[in-house]
Amino acid sequence: MELNEYQKASRKTLPYLATDSGLAYLTLGLAGEAGELLEKAFHHAPVEDLMGELGDVLWCLAQIATEVGLELESLKAPTDRSVKRAAARNAVESISKGHSQSLADLCSLLVVNVAAVSECTKKMLRDDQGVLTPERQEKFSQLLSDVLLSWHLAAQRAGIEPGVCAAANCEKLASRQQRGVLGGSGDNR
């Protein structure tokens, strides 16, 4: 499944009506889902559990991109140099110690990138009175690109094909929507 196709399909499962707090809701969701993914990576969860959390992260990422007027496909190339440099330093350090980056390392990078999106959302609400300025949209583009890159790297490290993850997430959410259980908590809804 292609990213833009996923973005459009996943939008149909948005469990709230568009409100002024939509971006804040989605950013909090992204932070929570990234944290759940990191927790499962640290505990060496089965690949099915990892795929579920990766799908949830992608869902939040797709909704945030839509809220700020961006397509996921346009985010494929990372543009934030400081994040790329930090990731490169981390990779070089890891390789110099004789091991590759673990899934937990890559999920940690994802969480750091998600925190930057949260900070950008906070600044939009605080400094721009909740208005998405062209400058803030460009910053979101850079930051969401970094989240997508770290998501992709984590999926690859877990042995999960990103398109398969996206399709599985769409199926899960469509099933929940049909059963009227999009809201709530837990995987067994």
Sign of the torsion angle spanned by Cα atoms 72, 77, 78, 80: negative
pLDDT confidence tier of residue 92, bands split at 50, 70 and 90: very low
pLDDT in tens, 157-187: 999 999 999 999 999 998 988 888 887 777 6
Q: How far is it, in rounded angstroms, from Cα 143 to Cα 152?
A: 14
Q: 72 vs 86, which has greater pLDDT? A: 72
Mean pLDDT along residues 141-148: 92
- Whether residue 189 has pLDDT greater than 90: no
Instruction: Looking at mean pLDDT, say which of 17-21, 48-52, 86-90 comes out highest.
Output: 48-52
C-alpha to C-alpha distances, 109 to 129, 146, 183, nearest whole angstrom: 29, 9, 28
Residue 97: per-residue pLDDT: 59
Greater pLDDT, 143 or 81: 143
The pLDDT value given to residue 88: 52
pLDDT of residue 183: 75
- The pLDDT score that the predictor gives to residue 16 is 64
Q: pLDDT by residue (tens digit) across 5-41?
A: 999 999 988 876 555 678 888 999 999 999 999 999 9
Query: Residue 139's pLDDT band (boundaries 50, 70, 90)?
Result: very high
Q: Which two tokens stand for residue 13?
A: 């499962």
pLDDT bin (cut points 50, 70, 90) of residue 95 is: very low
CA distance 64 to 86: 24
